């Protein structure tokens, strides 16, 4: 199985660290899993212009294809102005409507106020559901105060919540993969 993490931020390290922590926990749960971090600050994903994917640059095509080839995903975004990042929304706009069909799509978010956790419920989950993703019941919001000066997570409760998210993601994805095998036979 391949788990792809997306860090939907162009600045700072907190969101990338949060997604990396999920990937690390996944490898701890299953050492055979393949993981990959797509840190959007490392790619030049073009702004959507309503054209087919082939009309965009190599970075855009590469990122979209990595996402489509994943078995399941974890999506991370900082919360800005009570919303997901623009770069992440732009990436979602490049994806076909069934991009996440039969794929678990875990969520980690970072933000500066506790009320920002609601963005996951009211903005991100509906987008992932629209793209046919299977959204776990749990997600992880990490307040900026729970990172140290090196952008490392310093709260043990957050790390435990990440482990629980990973366990749920594995449980759901293995169930979906078993369902596909059963339906194909």
pLDDT interval class at 113 (50, 70, 90): confident
pLDDT given for residue 184 in this prediction: 46
Kindly tell me if the per-residue pLDDT of 136 is higher than 90.
yes
Kindly tell me if the per-residue pLDDT of 114 is higher than 60.
yes
pLDDT given for residue 31 in this prediction: 95
Kindly tell me if the per-residue pLDDT of 149 is higher than 50.
yes
Domain that holds residue 67: 2-184
DSSP string, the chain: -EEEEEE--SS-SHHHHHHHHHHHHHHHH-TT-EEEEEEGGGS-PPPP-SS-GGGS-HHHHHHHHHHHH-SEEEEEEE-BTTB--HHHHHHHHHS-TTTTTT-BEEEEEEESSGGGGHHIIIIIHHHHHHTT-B--S--EEEEGGGB-TTS-B--HHHHHHHHHHHHHHHHHHHHHHHHHHHHH-
pLDDT given for residue 185 in this prediction: 40
d(CA 109, CA 70): 20
This model's pTM is above 0.75 = yes
Q: How many domains is the chain built from?
A: 1
Q: Give the tokens for residue 76.
A: 């991370």
Mean pLDDT of the chain: 94
CATH for 104: 3.40.50.360
pLDDT given for residue 161 in this prediction: 97
CB atoms within 10 A of CB 21: 24
């Amino acid at each position: 199985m391949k788990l792809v993490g997306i860090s939907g931020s162009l600045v700072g390290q907190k969101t990338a660290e949060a997604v990396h922590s999920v990937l690390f926990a996944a490898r701890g749960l299953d050492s055979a899993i393949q993981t990959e971090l797509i840190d959007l600050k490392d790619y030049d994903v073009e702004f959507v212009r309503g054209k087919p994917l082939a009309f965009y640059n190599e970075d855009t095509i590469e990122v979209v294809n990595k996402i489509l080839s994943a078995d399941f995903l974890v999506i991370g975004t900082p919360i800005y102005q009570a919303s997901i990042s623009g770069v992440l929304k732009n990436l979602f706009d490049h994806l076909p409507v069934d991009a996440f069909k039969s794929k678990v799509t875990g969520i980690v978010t970072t933000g500066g106020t506790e009320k920002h956790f609601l963005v996951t419920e009211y903005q991100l989950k509906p987008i992932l559901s629209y793209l046919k993703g299977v959204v776990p019941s749990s997600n992880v919001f990490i307040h900026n105060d729970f990172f140290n000066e090196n952008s490392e997570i310093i709260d043990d409760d957050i790390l435990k919540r990440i482990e629980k998210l990973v366990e749920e993601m594995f449980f759901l994805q293995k169930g979906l993969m078993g369902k596909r095998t059963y339906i194909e036979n």
